Chains A and B, each alone.
Chain A
Amino acid sequence: MPLEILDALSDFVGELSLTNWLLYFWPFFLIDFLRYTILDGTVLLHWIRWKGLGRGKVEAARERMFRERPLVSIIAPGKNEGAHLPALARSLQKQTYRRFELIVIDDGSDDATSAICRRLLEQGKIDDYIRHRVRGGKASAANTGLRRARGRYVVHLDADTELDPRALEQVILPFYLEEDVGAVGGDIRVANQSASLATRLQAIEYLKTITVARTVASQLGIMRIVSGAFGAFPRQTLERLKGWDVGPGLDGDITLKIRKLGLKIRHAPDAIAYTNVPVRFKALSRQRYRWYRSMVRFRMRKHRDLLNPVANFRTTDFISSLDNIFFNFVMNLKWWVYAIQLLAFVPRPVWPYLLVINWALYVGANVIQWGLVWAGVGTSLNRRVAALTLYVPIMPIYVGVYLRVIRSYSQLMEIFTRSSYRDPWNPWRVSRAAQRAGM
């Protein structure tokens, strides 16, 4: 019986003409494969070659940085994050770059955080501790931290991340490699990858969409987000912008504002921060729901002018926004068109074949992308990451079905209800003020 199905499948494939391949699988060949495998692959391979050739330049920049020894202000805002702080402080003490100050902003914690912070302050593991008596949201806490910062560079860090020993050095280095860099994103990887299926899939996803995709975007000059979990900025740039705006999506927002200043955004794949990701699919769904809504809000509403050719035009900005809209809307639209195509023109018995072949194609693309991850940053990956290879065939379902559903749902909710203003991300008073301001 299974063999008969296999025969039928091979017959079906055998009879497909080139036109049929395109007709049946255009979303894969014309869009996904082209954009995320061919384009990314080409750019990444180019980057790997460039990295090899530019080694001397990197070494010179690193030397200059260690000679100048700029003070780096690390700001860690958050509510009830006290329990994570001792580990963060420990990971900071192991840094190869040692001239930094750690500023913790307690955003109205109601647990033992303030006691923990005062102890760490006494032990000299925290340099500054400011407490907001009432929660004001992440942006206001980060702004208070920025106000306290004295360093030439400011690193924004989530308190629950742990840094690789070279992370601080690597996240500052791009400022010495190029002129006019306005922000550098660190590489976020999954700390608890072995906890569940969900964390394993996220570990692969982070390596693909952050490590590889952002390196590529950085190379193309179209980086559009510096993760709040780990990002570095010249303090002057942040002060020019008067800090962060109200979230959610404050990370993407500040990045776009920096782009608008005409500064470059860079990704540093060797500046690694490990973070704990949701272990259960339920928690993961809630997290993504929040993330995806904020994306729409900030790309489409607040920074609409990046698409407008008159005001402030810069080709890379335009492409960056286009790429984002492509990613968020064309990718969604594509499936609706494809579904209608199937329903209207393709006989029902053919559907299972298309499903299986599509899955196989996407698995193939994922395998290539997984290969790119190893080609790009393989030296920083261990055997545990290698074991994730077994889960790569599930990725098409995780990304193509699970995440796609959440993404579509959150975009609809954002567009029709503007419900993110009632998100628990911000205190209600802050959300209401932002809503009245029409932001």
Chain B
Amino acid sequence: MNPGLYAADIVPLRSEIDATEPLGAIMAPAPEGVRSAACFVLVPGEDPEDALGLLGQIRRHPDPAIYLKPVLLVRRGAEPLPEALTYGVDAIWDRDAEPARPGHDVEAELRAIGQRAGQLSPVHSGGDLDPTVRVLRFLAVRGGTFAPRQTVLHPAGWTYDRLEPLADSADGDVARLLMLLAERQLLEGEFVARTHSCSSCNCAFLNFQETCPRCTSADLLVQDWVHHFRCAYTGPMSDFEYEGRLVCPKCEHLLRHLGTDYDKPAIVYQCRECENEFHEADVVSACYQCGHSAPPDMQGERYYRRYTVTALGRNLAIYGVDETVGRVLSRSGRVLPFDSFRTLVAGEAARHERYRTEPGSALVLVNLVGLQGAYLELGERTGELLEQLLETVVSIMRTSDYIATPNNSLFAIVLTETGVDAAETAVERLEGGIAELLQGSLSDPPNVTFAIESITKDLDLDGTLDRMLGRHAA
């Protein structure tokens, strides 16, 4: 088999790739044959770095039909390959171990990825240019949990292997993109590690050294500070050292036992450069990669988490278009733009239809009737009350629940993976929290009505909202 990249159908995948010509590189727009193939097969040649380059080209291609496609790496036994390559692909086929064809599970996995990628809503002409969107879609299509791996071969000390090729240096590091997605509730993260990294290049390999606060030299002598109990003399250990024993320079007694005769309540530094003696050294951290040096608290900080895609993330990735995702990314706070909310509801309905998973998701509507009274009583401060109300509602919701406010008096909430019965319990808690706030703030609080709907294919979101508003307006 010749080195290079092949666009292939997975089934049947024979021992010899039946594509005639390896692809040199993928151009945008991609040829139709490449777009419709089920997967890429990557065969490293003399220089494995070439294969790594091809992988990057695939993953940074704007066309979802290219960058989301599974990649199979073909290797021969213990052939040395870069870590970034072996961990960066979706599956590996070792032809020395299984000469005929990759294992069934490998094939099944590649097929599943290809299938999910096929469900994506049609993409607009430019493709997915935003690396954040690419990362989200990539995760949604692959499903499951993405955990970081600790490695000295990556300057950050940790990598999200398969995600790394999705972003290049101009896009910023993947860990930061993931943090951003998690902040917007598109991903859910479980803590793995926290690192200090260079604030200028994000390299996690930092050298921490104590330096002299006067001359910044790092050539320091570090000694224990000794306290002789019986005479209260204190000084550096070297004050006491005398012919191989410890003798007090004040009372001339021998120091025998640590804890009964003396202790070491501090340490002291002596600068070999300027002879300054001090107890608190400055600490400086210097980057091994770019040499940038700064106090530790001025360096960067990264959280590494094990991520899973949330319901919102999954639905926006699969049914949303680029701009919808973009709007979610640019908002702040918990309230979703209503079109994203609509996408979420439609996605949950479709998922329920397809998998019939029990329980499905529930839609809860909260309507404040007679809010005019509040305007009369509070005037412009009604806005503050509504914000407080929203805060109360959000504090009662789970992190996997989503809220939108189609208008001032109406809150729409999606409770994911919640049946109607469980939704009723949640509504009771909402009712309590809202009533407490309203009764504490207004002499004539508005009526609050609730509606619970199961999210299915038959749910008509706009109709339900209209009915809710119309019924109470009447």
> Chain A interface (Cβ within 8 Å of chain B)?
108, 129-134, 136-137, 139-140, 142-144, 147-148, 242-246, 250, 429-430, 432-434, 436-437, 439
Contact = CB atoms under 8 A, between A and B. Distances in A.
A243 B266 contact: no
Contacts of B456: none
A108 B265 contact: yes
Contacts of A132: 225, 227, 265-266
Which of B230, B232, B253 counts the most A-chain CB atoms under 10 A from its CB? B232
Contact of B232 (A133, A134, A139, A432): A139
Given A108-B265, A132-B266, A134-B265, A140 B232 contact: yes
Interface string B250-268: 1001000001110101100
B230 A136 contact: no
Contact of A143 (B234, B266, B279, B280): B234
A423 B434 CA distance: 60
B229 interface: yes
B280 A242 contact: no
A104 to B, nearest CB: 11
A246 B230 contact: yes
A285 to B, nearest CB: 27
A434 B229 contact: yes
B234 A144 contact: yes
A246 B265 contact: no
A350 to B, nearest CB: 54
Contact of A433 (B249, B260, B265, B279): B260
Given A134-B265, A430-B232, A432-B229, 15 more contacts: A132-B227, A132-B266, A134-B263, A136-B227, A136-B232, A137-B232, A139-B232, A140-B232, A140-B234, A140-B265, A144-B225, A242-B231, A242-B233, A242-B249, A433-B229
A132 B224 CA distance: 11
A244 B263 contact: no
A434 B233 CA distance: 12
Contacts of A432: 229, 260
User: Majority SS of interface residues in chain B?
Assistant: loop
Contacts of A139: 232
Contact of A246 (B232, B279, B280): B232
Contacts of B229: 136, 246, 429-430, 432-434
Contact of B233 (A131, A133, A143): A143
B235 interface: yes
Contacts of A142: 232
Interface string B136-148: 0000000000000
- For the complex of A and B, the 7 pairs showing the least CB-CB separation, nearest first, are A433-B229, A139-B232, A132-B265, A242-B250, A437-B230, A144-B234, A136-B227
Interface in B185-242: 225, 227, 229-235
Contacts of A434: 229-230
A131 B232 contact: no
A293 to B, nearest CB: 18
A108 B225 CA distance: 14
B279 A439 contact: no
A371 to B, nearest CB: 42
A136 B249 contact: no
Given A147-B234, A243-B232, A243-B250, A433 B266 contact: no
Contact of A429 (B225, B263, B279, B280): B263
B234 A429 contact: no
26 contacts: A108-B265, A129-B279, A129-B280, A130-B266, A130-B279, A132-B225, A134-B265, A136-B232, A136-B234, A137-B232, A139-B232, A140-B232, A140-B233, A148-B279, A242-B231, A242-B233, A242-B249, A243-B232, A243-B234, A243-B250, A246-B229, A429-B259, A430-B229, A432-B229, A437-B231, A439-B230
Contacts of A133: 265-266
A143 B232 CA distance: 7
A438 to B, nearest CB: 10
Given A144-B225, A433-B260, A245 B232 contact: yes
Contacts of B233: 140, 143, 242-243
A433 B255 CA distance: 11
B266 A245 contact: no
A433 B261 contact: yes
